[in-house]
């Protein structure tokens, strides 16, 4: 099913003006249900919290946020201080769609944030290189709660190519208070954190999520971020708000939707594709097929 976002009022997988295409092995419009993590995951979580906590990275407001109904908060990791063509593609697509874009850029120093970002970003913040994407998400949520309370926000990191389809329909039609683009039962039921939506961001909502968006510390290792933040985010939110995902894998045939069904997802209206399919995860798909999709969407990475 070619599911570009269409206006429809009937049929499964439709709400308002957002139509989600079917993908074999995945469910659409999934209401989150907590599941029990294994003893191995619980042990890794305990070890991470006991031994791997680090100070929160510093941050500076370069171009402060202001009141908007909706934001897209895009985290860019730039240890060398240079934007890639993939970053420019993402930023251009968001700008051209009319999104209000809040960029959190991680560099070695605030002076290393590329001046070019001012032409893309409605709001711009620097943070230090530590803390992974969740420290950037924390900064974005705090900023919106303070300067644009009650706004909805789509949080996105730069591990993804795209968007190949408009993202504002996903933001407008989010059915839940915390919405993932994809959810997975891998390790435990969770929302994958490369991109997700939080509605009605306020200080109260942020306080309900502080168990994963820390006010005073962070983790500098990817594994610790996964065990303590990504896998726990939906479970923590579920205690006080509605939680769900646009597409979900229960693990019976697909562990990671973005790695196992990337082409089908894009055809179904999903806006993104993992960059790692041309890197450390290229064993999951044929790189030539990934490049062909990028070329079809005018992405410079295929050149």
**pLDDT of residue 5 exceeding 90:** no
CA distances from 173 to 16, 40, 160, 200 (A): 7, 37, 22, 13
Q: What is the pLDDT of residues 60-99, one digit of tens each?
A: 999 999 999 999 999 999 999 999 999 999 999 999 999 9
Q: What is the DSSP track for 115-184?
A: GGGGGT-SEEEEE-S-SHHHHHHHHHHHHHHHHSTTEEEEEEETTEE--SS-SHHHHHT--SSEEEEEEE
The 10s digit of each residue's pLDDT in 119-133 is 999 999 999 999 999
- What is d(CA 148, CA 68) in angstroms, rounded to the nearest whole number? 6
pLDDT by residue (tens digit) across 168-186?
Answer: 999 999 999 999 999 999 9
């Amino acid at each position: 099913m070619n599911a570009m976002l269409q206006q429809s009022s009937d049929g499964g997988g439709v709400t308002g003006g957002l139509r989600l295409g079917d993908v074999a092995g995945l469910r659409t419009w999934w209401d989150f249900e907590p599941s029990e993590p294994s003893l191995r995951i619980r042990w890794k979580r305990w070890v991470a919290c006991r031994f791997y906590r680090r100070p929160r990275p510093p941050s500076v407001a370069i171009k402060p946020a202001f009141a908007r109904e909706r934001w897209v908060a895009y985290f860019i990791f730039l240890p060398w201080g240079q934007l890639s063509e993939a970053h420019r593609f993402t930023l251009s697509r968001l700008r051209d769609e009319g999104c209000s874009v809040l960029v959190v850029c991680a560099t070695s120093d605030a002076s290393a944030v590329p001046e070019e970002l001012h032409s893309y970003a409605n709001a711009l913040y620097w943070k230090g290189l530590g803390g992974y994407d969740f420290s950037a998400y924390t900064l974005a949520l705090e900023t919106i709660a303070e300067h644009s309370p009650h706004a909805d926000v789509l949080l996105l990191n730069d591990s993804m190519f795209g968007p190949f389809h408009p993202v504002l329909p996903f933001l407008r039609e989010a059915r839940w208070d915390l919405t993932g683009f994809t959810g997975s039962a891998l390790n435990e039921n969770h929302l994958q954190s490369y991109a997700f939506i939080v509605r009605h961001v306020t200080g109260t909502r942020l306080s309900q999520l502080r168990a994963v968006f820390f006010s005073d510390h962070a983790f500098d290792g990817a594994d610790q971020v996964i065990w303590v933040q990504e896998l726990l985010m939906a479970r923590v939110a579920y205690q006080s708000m509605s939680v769900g995902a646009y597409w979900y894998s229960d693990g019976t045939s697909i562990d990671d939707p973005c790695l196992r069904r990337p082409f089908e997802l894009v055809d179904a209206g999903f806006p993104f594709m993992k960059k790692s399919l041309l890197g450390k995860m290229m064993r999951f798909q044929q790189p030539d097929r990934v490049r062909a999709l990028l070329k079809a969407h005018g992405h410079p990475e295929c050149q």
